[in-house]
Amino acid sequence: MRILLTRHGQTDWNVLKKIQGCTDIELNEKGIEQAKEARKKLLEYDIDYIIASPLKRAKKTAEIINEGRNIPLIVSDDIKERNFGKFEGKTAKEIDFDEIWNYKLNKQYKHAESVGEVFDRVSGFMNNLKHKYDDKTVLLVTHGGICVPIRAYFEGIPEGMDVLKGMGLDNCQIKEYNL
């Protein structure tokens, strides 16, 4: 099984460095252009399925990538961005961003997902994916916070890296994995 992984195109909140989480933000013009560039790069792949987060920025990125291709597009809450609760709309300077992304600390929040909860959700999704689409090529269109546990699923967590925020992807960056 081949997995192609990409993060949605840019939004205005990306520019402002605000935590989006489950806040449903649209792509901006640059984000639309990034999605079109990703589409061009992905034309070389024979993709069987696209699975996207239901949030507008990821779903629109997936739709742009799929223009003219008619690849079955599946929307899955399992790869919806991490729920950051009260931290959504804040910048990393306004909160302790390192604490939020500290895997070993795995701080529990009243109205937000912990790192461990996100990892469990995404790991279950990945395990189901490999059984359901064993011999297929699947493109996942998701979010920076979900790219972290997906990358860790394939690459592991680097030795001594407690704060995982650096494992995300840039907007419309593409990674490829084989299962």
Name the residue ranges covered by the structural domains of the chain: 2-178
- Pick the catalytic residue from 33, 37, 67, 81: 81
Does residue 169 register a pLDDT over 80?
yes
Q: What is the pLDDT of residue 27?
A: 98
Which residues lie across from 73 on neighbouring strands? 50
CATH number belonging to the domain at 2-178, selected among 3.40.50.1240, 3.40.50.360, 2.30.40.10, 3.40.50.800: 3.40.50.1240
Q: Using CA atoms, how far apart are residues 44 and 116, in angstroms rounded to an integer?
A: 35
Least confident of 1-5, 53-57, 60-64, 161-165: 161-165
**DSSP 8-state class, residue 171:** T
48 burial (CB, 10 Å; 0-12 / 13-18 / 19+) is: middle
- Mean pLDDT over 70-89 rounds to 97
Q: Using CA atoms, how far apart are residues 162 and 24, in angstroms rounded to an integer?
A: 29
- Mean pLDDT over 82-99 rounds to 94
Does residue 165 register a pLDDT over 80?
no
Supply 42's token pair.
Answer: 């992905």
pLDDT tier for residue 26 given thresholds of 50, 70 and 90? very high
8 is a catalytic site residue: yes
pLDDT tier for residue 97 given thresholds of 50, 70 and 90? confident
**DSSP 8-state class, residue 55:** S
pLDDT tier for residue 37 given thresholds of 50, 70 and 90? very high
pTM score of the predicted model: 0.96
- Pick the catalytic residue from 8, 88, 113, 143: 8
Whether the Cβ atoms of residue 149 and residue 122 lie closer than 8 Å to each other: yes
- Mean pLDDT over 36-43 rounds to 98
